[in-house]
Amino acid sequence: MSAAPQRGFGEAEYRHRLSRAQTMMAKAGLACLLLSTEPEVRYFTGYLTRFWESPARPWFLIVPAVGDPIAVIPSIGVALMSRSWIKDIRSWRSPDLQDDGVSLLRDALCEVAGTDGKIGVPSGLETHVRMPMHSWNALQQGLSIVDDAEIVVRLRKIKSQAEIAKIAQAGAIANLAFARVPEIAQAGVPLEKVFRHFQMLLLEEGADWVPYLAGAAGQDGYYDVISPATDAPLVQGDILMLDTGAVWDGYFCDFDRNFAVGAPSAIAQSGHSSLIEAVDAGMAAAKPGAMMCDLFHAMAGVVAGDSDAVANAGRLGHGLGMQLTEWPSIIPTDLTVLETGMVLTLEPSVETVDGRIMVHEENIAITETGAVFLNARSGRSLVSV
């Protein structure tokens, strides 16, 4: 693993994001953006804290069409926000049972948007408004709230080189942890112990934290990939899959590895080979100008993406960055055109036997001429433990 990139970003990166947003706002006729979720607020401010785990307090950022962003946040966050590049920070003591920031937010919005300026709120797939319905309904009275013309999606789906370096760093850490799985997984070890120890390996190798770990184990495959671990011990013939979203400086990797417990069966090795071939096909199709649906068809041509057990996953990959999953999706209906700077997962799955599946995932970045792997990709032979 090469030297870790610098933590954080310089103010220039945030100014560049702001400037791009403001160009788009002018085109869309928006007076400002109103943001309320962790990645939305962090994208424009750098405000990085695990405190969002608490649902108690709402947090807001106003990104005006002209001028610098305004943070409207609980007082508990002022010390940290003050260390960001944001200068206009307005706060209240939250929780306030009568008015949990709504008046303060409304005043700031009126100041920026006047009484008839359009306030854009992210409102498409994979977004939500993070504030109580009561507050939201009260806030909307007399304001002109519309969708954000997909400005946040359009910005975030193209990553800067500094962002890509952080995703690659998370991936390099996960690579080191995956290489050590034989230390913690063998026949007889309960799956829940493997899960706990794998998270420890990720932390030891340098992950800041491990927001996501899923996995499964079963004879020549598994039935789903989102269940928590049971205390059932691994047995010979199992395929063990571990899928992690480890974070470094606020950016995720998201990829998995399969391991054969004992010598791999012909069925399992064949499943693994198909998955590797599907990734090859996805990579061959991944370049600026191609569409997300092209990646789907390239991979589905190898792994029969329309079989029921496989299609239940809903897609064969997705965007990746400040969140474990981001837009766009590798599905037949997604016509998003690939651009330099997009970061994606390729995530084919294949049915091995009787509704059981194997899933494989790698992380890639779209370059000017094609795509590169952000993590060291899996070998063509299934690794035994």
Find out whether 382 and 263 touch, Cβ atoms under 8 Å.
no
Which one, 350 or 382, has the nearer CB to its own copies? 350
CB of 137 to its own copies, least distance (A): 8
CB of 40 to its own copies, least distance (A): 11
- For the chain, the farthest-separated pair of C-alpha atoms sits apart, in whole angstroms, at 69
Measured CA to CA, the distance from residue 343 to residue 156 in angstroms comes to: 10
CB of 136 to its own copies, least distance (A): 8
CB of 248 to its own copies, least distance (A): 11
Which one, 135 or 273, has the nearer CB to its own copies? 135
Rounded to 5 degrees, what are φ and ψ at 214?
-130, 175
Measured CA to CA, the distance from residue 107 to residue 202 in angstroms comes to: 45
257 forms beta bridges with 242
CB of 299 to its own copies, least distance (A): 16
CA 169 to chain centre: 15
Which one, 264 or 296, has the nearer CB to its own copies? 296
Position of tokens 């806030």? 139
Which one, 38 or 163, has the nearer CB to its own copies? 38
Which one, 312 or 384, has the nearer CB to its own copies? 312
Element (H, E) at 312: none
CB of 359 to its own copies, least distance (A): 11
Which one, 179 or 313, has the nearer CB to its own copies? 313
CA-to-CA separations, 86 to 169, 173, 241, in angstroms, rounded:
27, 31, 42
Residue 354 tokens, joined = 């009787």
State how beta strands 238-248 and 88-92 pair.
unpaired
CB of 369 to its own copies, least distance (A): 29
Which one, 267 or 324, has the nearer CB to its own copies? 324
345: Cβ–Cβ under 8 A, 6 or more apart, which residues?
A: 254, 255, 317, 318, 319, 320, 325, 361, 362, 363, 364
Measured CA to CA, the distance from residue 309 to residue 47 in angstroms comes to: 40
What is the number of residues in the chain? 385
